[in-house]
Structure 1
Amino acid sequence: MNQYIGPEGILDKRGQYFYPCTGYFYRNPPQIVKGEMQYLYGHDGKRYTDFFAGVSVCASGHCNPEIAARTAEQLKTLQHTCTLYLTQPNVVLAERLSEVLPGQLRRTFFVNSGSEANEGAMLLARLHTGRKGFIALEQSLHGRTYLTMSVTGLSMWRADPQLAQPGAEDVTFIPRPYEYGVSLDEAARRSIDALKAVLAEKGDTIAAMLVEPIQGNGGIIIPPDWYFPEVKALLEQYGVLMIDDEIQTGFGRTGEMFAMSRWGVVPDIITMAKALGSGIPIAAFASTDEIAASFTRPSASTFGGNPVSSVTGLAVLDYIEANHMAEHSAELGEQLLTGLQQLAEQYVDMSDVRGAGLMIGAELCAYDPARGAILVDEVLEEMKDRGFIIGKNGVSRNVLAFQPPLVITAQDVEEMLNALRSSLRIVLS
């Protein structure tokens, strides 16, 4: 008897037992039953090369045998105690992180998810500065808890209708350094001018500004090189902290261990998740000795930094270092970016290609986003049928997202580009 209930069976049970907010990709979705490095397998045995990695999560590959073996061994030895008891893996992981984090960021608080990491970072900023307000970029995504949702600019992820509207007293949104039809430098300058105005008006009430070095769900938006150094300098003038949200961009994704390092900027607080566990839930926020010293009230995360997730994080860091994954990401990212740019020259509907390392977006029909969103869904369907998983994001969901496991090969990239060429020929012709 087949042990799998199949896509129809899963959709039926979702309809009965899941909340209606839970969506899924594809008109005809496969049932995924197995992962193996850069590959996923359906219930029917079909293999898919994964170019989305669960939105940058499985950066070291699905079920990476070197990492999984260490996770399984720890699972059989000591699974959980909470930080109220002394265990070795979490302190060793914190020490290792201090060696790869930028600047003097060396104090780490472990939690379970990116939302919790950003929530903790915002709390820390308030405790350290004694201020309440925050600045965030439009079309940002920082989490699904109440506080992180309040600094999320993407309307589709602001789920609570009672949430304070953008521009409310405690959260001020400024334009992101991107606007269709405007040069990147001009859009970034408008963003800087807005930041200056906010700081001049109420800088002494702002605890921190949250930024994604590259906006992920906002459409893979990467600013000009001068933007974040200028942002950091302005914030320092007013004693406002910079919270660097590296949930999607951290651990080699963009060709650097952390994306903000591309511009030589050291944030005051950094948040991380996703790739640190490569599929095992682990997240953290880190800061300097001085800032961490402000967090003295009792606090803990029940599962944060448990032995299993901590050993996994250590295994991930070992794998990234031993296999030079950041350098690999930069090299293959150039191949992928060049290939996508060549396709954009052939198809006017591929209106922009942007990103860094293995975090690249290809926007369809920026001049008609609603049409672009329809075309993106068609491309995803065609690519799935050809054995390739890619993602989508953007304000209008009209951006093809390429965020594969960092273990992909040059041949994987070439084969995906060939499949995409065939898919675009059908969808865009």
Structure 2
Amino acid sequence: MSKNILKVCNGFKNVRSYSSLKEMPICEFKPVKYEGPSYEQLQNIRQTKLNPALTTFYSKPLALNQGYKQWLFDINGKRYLDLFGGICTVSVGHCHPKVNEATIKQLETLTHVSNIYYHPKLHEYASRLADKMPGNLKVVYFVNSGSEANDLAMLMARVYTNNFEILSLMNAYHGMSPQSMGLTSMPSYRYSIPQPPGIHHVMNPDVYTGLWGGSHCRDSPVQTKRTCDCSPNECKAGDNYLQQLSQFFTYNLASGHVAAMFAESIQGLGGVVQFPKNYIKGAYKLVKEYGGLFVSDEVQAGFGRTGDHFWGFEAHGITPDIVTMAKGIGNGYPLAAVVTTPDIAKALTKSGHFNTFGGNPVASAVGIAVLDVIEEEKLQENSKKVGTYFLLELEKLSEKYPVIGDVRGKGLMIGVELVNPGTKEPLDRKKSLQVLDESLNMGVILGKGGIYGNVLRIKPPMCVTKEDVDFSLSVLEEVFKKISQ
């Protein structure tokens, strides 16, 4: 292949100068010409008029103008393959035509009346979403974000059980509202102020960097390289982590009871951390023994992203008492939900409960369209097929480049942990940033996560193709070659 690969997408050039880099897959979409503020003006506004706590990725922040399916275009017309999906939010593709059509149609009919009235889309969507849930998870509360959803789940669990103590895992991210920040156990997302009382963080069952773990632990096509003497059908690491959790229940619960335990099916912002296969099921059993509810946070793992199941918790063999969901539920639209059983739902009738925008007509129309597209385009199946291929190819890269300490995930929820070669020590932040920068320069957008920011988070729109993956792999190989030198 020529060292200078020139690819034209409807008039916009993408110039590459990497000898082994594959050509960027063809894109038939033509973006509109950008006519807004200059990059320098945007930078000035960001620095002087916006919240200074807002962070951006990359050495030079990316300024985007338009999106289509798995593609994004910056203000200069340069095209990028989006492997982060707006932080695991764009599920069916940027500006999907069917979702756009549903949005426009609803905007022309009814934009807002709140849920104190009947309006068809709210009821139609609640029914469609409930039909996707197993067991008796049939009552839906609509809110606007994952933080709101987890806040509401905390309230619901406490009111229903009449217990107060709540557990979540170390390394978990459940939101940044004043209440959900208490569930979150990552220092970067917790302010040094008194945290909400009654919330405890328990040992994270991370089979790569935790106390225990081995080569049969994860429900993933790729296993950690740690050795263990477990058979394929057992997991001693999971048993050890569950013993630690049991001891926490014994020694740390003031009342001897718990209101709830929160857990992501696969940790998202924490770095796509997967638990031993028997852990969540055992934790669920313990929580029930202590009078509590189990809450599954499906904000990132839900809606078919993990491939085998529509919901991440299904892979753990449980049906939770409460499920929270956001991000991919609305493909980028502010929409979230809490789903529970009729019996638990009645707890909130002890007082008034209201959400001005929860179940908004436009949001509901979007949610219905997203479910339609996932089914019609078989995106759950695509997540399994393309994601498994991606994981196995990344595993091959890890054999060539010791900077890749661990590859993990399921479907299109993938993590690549970068380390100092020969150790499990996190790769220096500057080098991790270099991986992001170099990939971006070659046209691939990646995310990052983990407490040290050294985990590549790969969570693209679920319409991504094998050709896209091959291009991405060639980019990553070029980057790993460079930083390994």
- Smaller-chain TM-score bracket: over 0.9
How is 1:210-221 mapped onto 2 (pairs within 5 angstroms)?
Answer: 210-221=262-273
State the distance in 2 between where 1:8 and 1:368 align.
40
Instruction: Output one character per residue of 1:348-367: Cα deviation in whole Å (capped at 9) or x when no partner.
Output: 11100011110110001164
SS of residue in 2 equivalent to 1:363? strand
Moved over 4 A (4+): 184-187
1:143 corresponds in structure 2 to 175
State the distance in 2 between where 1:186 and 1:14 align.
50
1:391 maps onto 2:447 in alignment: yes
Cα deviation, residue 291, structure 1: 0.8
1:110 maps onto 2:160 in alignment: no
**Could you tell me the TM-score, scaled by structure 2's length?**
0.85
Aligned match for 1:175, one of 203, 215, 232: 203
**Could you tell me the TM-score, scaled by structure 1's length?**
0.96
- Structure 1 counterpart of 2:241, one-letter code: S
Structure 2 unmatched runs, 5+: 1-32, 215-234
Cα deviation, residue 28, structure 1: 2.1
Instruction: Output one character per residue of 1:296-324: Cα deviation in whole Å (capped at 9) or x when no partner.
Output: 02111111100000000000001111122
Q: Could you tell me whether the CA contact under 8 Å between 1:51 and 1:402 is conserved in 2? A: yes
Aligned match for 2:386, one of 297, 322, 332: 332
RMSD: 1.6
Cα deviation, residue 327, structure 1: 1.3
Cα deviation, residue 368, structure 1: 6.1
Aligned match for 2:241, one of 166, 191, 197: 191
Aligned match for 2:106, one of 74, 79, 86: 74
Cα deviation, residue 189, structure 1: 3.6
How is 1:289-328 mapped onto 2 (pairs within 5 angstroms)?
Answer: 289-296=342-349, 297-328=351-382
Cα deviation, residue 6, structure 1: 3.3
State the distance in 2 between where 1:163 and 1:397 align.
25
Cα deviation, residue 423, structure 1: 1.4
Instruction: Output one character per residue of 1:83-128: Cα deviation in whole Å (capped at 9) or x when no partner.
Output: 1111011111111111111221000100000000000011000110
Cα deviation, residue 377, structure 1: 0.8
Structure 1 unmatched runs, 5+: none
Distance 1:193 1:100, change over 3 A: same
State the distance in 1 between where 2:388 and 2:138 align.
32
State the distance in 2 between where 1:120 and 1:169 align.
16
Cα deviation, residue 3, structure 1: 1.9
Q: Could you tell me whether the CA contact under 8 Å between 2:145 and 2:326 is conserved in 1? A: yes
1:163 maps onto 2:217 in alignment: no
SS of residue in 1 equivalent to 2:91? coil
Q: Could you tell me whether the CA contact under 8 Å between 1:109 and 1:286 is conserved in 2? A: yes
2:73 corresponds in structure 1 to 41
1:99 maps onto 2:131 in alignment: yes
Cα deviation, residue 2, structure 1: 6.7
Instruction: Output one character per residue of 1:323-378: Cα deviation in whole Å (capped at 9) or x when no partner.
Output: 22111101111111011101100011110001111011000116465534322211
Distance 1:356 1:84, change over 3 A: same
Cα deviation, residue 265, structure 1: 1.0
Higher mean displacement: 364-373 or 34-43: 364-373
* Equivalent residue pairs, number: 425
Q: Could you tell me whether the CA contact under 8 Å between 1:332 and 1:409 is conserved in 2? A: yes
SS of residue in 2 equivalent to 1:146? coil
Distance 1:356 1:395, change over 3 A: same
Q: Could you tell me whether the CA contact under 8 Å between 2:419 and 2:425 is conserved in 1? A: yes
- Structure 2 counterpart of 1:100, one-letter code: K
Instruction: Output one character per residue of 1:365-407: Cα deviation in whole Å (capped at 9) or x when no partner.
Output: 1646553432221111111111111110011000011000000
State the distance in 2 between where 1:284 and 1:356 align.
23
State the distance in 2 between where 1:242 and 1:69 align.
37
1:270 maps onto 2:302 in alignment: no
Cα deviation, residue 194, structure 1: 2.5
Cα deviation, residue 57, structure 1: 0.5
In proportion to residue count, which structure has more helix?
Answer: 1
